[in-house]
């Protein structure tokens, strides 16, 4: 495990530089992204760096962790809309370059969708670098407390803490979906490299527990202790504490 603590003013730029180096070294990389407040600046900074440095992304592929069920990609609260706004549209990525669980209604064949998502990742040779955020309850993706470590892509009932944290995005908790679809923990752990990102004092306690506490499904992010190539990037506000 490699832990880096960055100044808030340089955080997004430094993380973007890591992703840029990966793209330069392996133009056909499959990069895994997460949507959330922590990664907004990083996504925008990476797009700017790619354009400023005239880096070709014609062979690049991306995959995102999760999405809400019943929320169309045209909804500004959807994970896809946010990622499209922050990154995809800035680089004019083609449809076939983007692997995303989007526009999924309650009437879908979830088993088939999950299987196809896993197949698309495998066809690209697996995820080269997966960027992760962490929820206040320790979730990664939408893998909530109690999710088995052996899960692949699946449908999940969203924890109330997760729904409460997204209330401001949807305009009230009553509008936040109760279910999501997410890359499973087993799938995440297959990534060749994982970079866990966290900002702010409110994440300090859960990050500490995830990295130094017991490895347990009750704290999904704790499984990252078992990954052979884990980098953790924190800002100054996320000083690790018990």
- Phi-psi region for residue 4, left (φ > 0), alpha (ψ -120 to 50) or beta? beta
For the residues of 143-176, what is the DSSP string, one character each? B-TT--TT--SEEEEPPHHHHHHTHHHHTSGGGS
Going from N- to C-terminal start, the domains of the chain cover 2-26+38-53+70-179+191-235
Mean pLDDT, range 98-111, rounded to an integer: 95
pLDDT for 241:
57
pLDDT digits (tens, 9 = 90+) for 170-220: 999 999 999 999 999 999 999 999 999 999 999 999 999 999 999 999 999
Question: Within 13 A of 156's CA, how many CA atoms are on the CB side?
Answer: 29
The per-residue pLDDT for 119 is 98
pLDDT at 101 over 50: yes
Model pTM?
0.94
Determine the pLDDT at residue 192.
98
Cβ contact 147:183 at 8 Å: no
> What is the spatial distance between Cα 18 and Cα 180, in angstroms, rounded to a whole number?
29
Cα 74 to Cα 79, 81, 116: the distances in Å are 10, 6, 22
- In the prediction, which pLDDT does 36 show? 86
CA distances from 154 to 16, 128, 142 (A): 29, 21, 9
Which has more pLDDT, 128 or 238? 128
Q: pLDDT tens digits for 112-148?
A: 999 999 999 999 999 999 999 999 999 999 999 999 9
Report pLDDT for 242.
47
What are the E-state strand segments in the chain?
2-6, 30-33, 61-64, 66-68, 98-99, 129-132, 154-157, 179-182, 193-198, 230-235
The pLDDT tens digits for 144-179 are: 999 999 999 999 999 998 999 899 889 999 999 999
Give the residue numbers annotated as catalytic, written as ranges. 66, 137, 139, 144
Give the pLDDT confidence score for residue 240 in this predicted structure.
67
Classify domain 2-26+38-53+70-179+191-235 by CATH architecture.
3-Layer(aba) Sandwich (3.40)
- Copy the structure tokens of residue 79: 């994970």
pLDDT digits (tens, 9 = 90+) for 29-77: 999 999 988 999 999 999 999 999 999 999 999 999 999 999 999 999 9
- pLDDT at 72 (0 to 100): 96
Return the pLDDT at 237: 83
């Amino acid at each position: 495990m490699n832990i880096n603590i960055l100044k808030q003013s340089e955080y997004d730029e430094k993380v973007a530089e890591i992703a840029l180096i990966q793209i330069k070294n392996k133009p056909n990389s499959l990069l895994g992204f997460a949507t959330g407040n922590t990664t907004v600046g990083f996504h925008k900074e990476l797009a700017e760096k790619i354009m400023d440095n005239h880096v070709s992304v014609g062979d690049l592929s991306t995959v995102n962790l999760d999405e809400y069920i019943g929320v169309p990609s045209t909804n500004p609260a959807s994970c896809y809309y946010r990622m499209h706004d922050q990154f995809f549209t800035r680089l004019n990525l083609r449809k076939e370059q983007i692997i995303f669980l989007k526009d999924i209604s309650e009437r879908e064949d979830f088993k088939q969708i999950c299987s196809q998502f896993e197949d698309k990742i495998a066809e690209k040779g697996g995820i080269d670098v997966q960027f992760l955020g962490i929820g206040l309850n320790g979730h990664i993706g939408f893998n909530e407390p109690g999710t088995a470590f052996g899960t692949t892509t699946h449908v999940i009932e969203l924890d109330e803490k997760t729904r409460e944290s997204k209330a401001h995005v949807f305009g009230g908790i009553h509008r936040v979906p109760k279910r999501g679809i997410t890359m499973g923990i087993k799938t995440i752990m297959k990534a060749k490299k994982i970079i866990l990102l966290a900002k702010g004092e409110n994440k300090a306690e859960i990050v500490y527990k995830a990295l130094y506490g017991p490895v347990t499904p009750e704290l999904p992010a704790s499984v990252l202790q078992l990954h052979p190539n884990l980098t953790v990037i924190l800002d100054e506000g996320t000083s690790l504490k018990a």
